[in-house]
Amino acid sequence: LPHLMTRYTEISKEIRTIMAKFEAKICRENRVVGMTSTAAAKYHDLLEEMRPRIMIVEEAAEMLESHIISALTTSLEHLILIGDHQQLRPSTSVHKLSEVHGLSISLFERLVMNQFPFTRLSHQRRMRPEIRQLINPIYRDPPLQDHPDVIKYPTIRGVAQSLFFLSHNEDEHNLPDSASKVNEHEAKFAAKLSFYLLQQGYSASKITIITMYSGQKTL
């Protein structure tokens, strides 16, 4: 029986190698192949067979260093990391691993903090200047600038300004059998504001409501 198990393992490995070569041949017919970091680790044999020379990692600042290292291949010549080390960090299921052992620091952030040369975008094309000003304290050196296109963005129909904060004194409460919190006042206000924007001619696909609590979505 031990001999059969050993032989079974050998044959299984041979089959995986053959399949990896076949799949790699198909992948090499494409100029760009994309996958998640989990898939890169799971199908590392396939990556090796593909023999990539360039690897681009998007949202690198939110990815565990081990995920990037495990995806590297012997054929790799260029590793390009794209992300923002001043935003979200990688997360682990065990808090102690993140804080005590530094797993919450990505390879991307580690390189930047150790003065590794990097290029930083200087212009943003996403938001109106009023909103961009909120993140000025974060992006100071060099200061983030607005691309001319954002000045052309139309103002919101039926609303006096593009950015405003609303304060209220209505308390939130916990849902039964749940740690999630809800605030009915905020939910009603958001729903009525959305309905008002629909009346201004906006489609529902152009309106997004973001909440911090999963329970709030049920309202």
Per-residue pLDDT tens for 70-99? 999 999 999 999 999 888 888 888 887 787
Residue 161 domain-assigned (yes or no) = no
Q: What's the half-sphere exposure (Cβ side, CA atoms, 13 Å) at 98? A: 11
Residue 160 domain-assigned (yes or no) = no
- CA 94 to each of CA 70, 90, 174, 186: distance values in angstroms, whole numbers, following the listed order: 20, 12, 26, 33
**Among 155, 176, 210, residue at a domain's last position:** 155
Residues 8 and 62 in one domain: yes
Residues 42 and 103 in one domain: yes
Higher pLDDT pick, 22 / 36:
36
Domain that holds residue 45: 1-119
Residues 52 and 148 in one domain: no
- Using one digit for the tens of pLDDT, what is the confidence trace for 93-142? 888 778 788 888 999 999 999 999 998 888 999 888 889 999 888 888 78
d(CA 65, CA 173): 39
**Residue 38 CB neighbour total at 10 angstroms:** 11
Residues 25 and 58 in one domain: yes
Residues 133 and 207 in one domain: no
Query: Vertex 96, ends 93 and 39: CA angle to 5°?
Result: 35
What confidence category does residue 173 fall into, taking pLDDT thresholds of 50, 70 and 90?
confident
**Domains identified in the chain, total number:** 3
Residues 14 and 71 in one domain: yes
pLDDT of residue 147: 92
d(CA 18, CA 50): 13
Residues 136 and 177 in one domain: no
Residues 109 and 41 in one domain: yes
Residues 127 and 171 in one domain: no
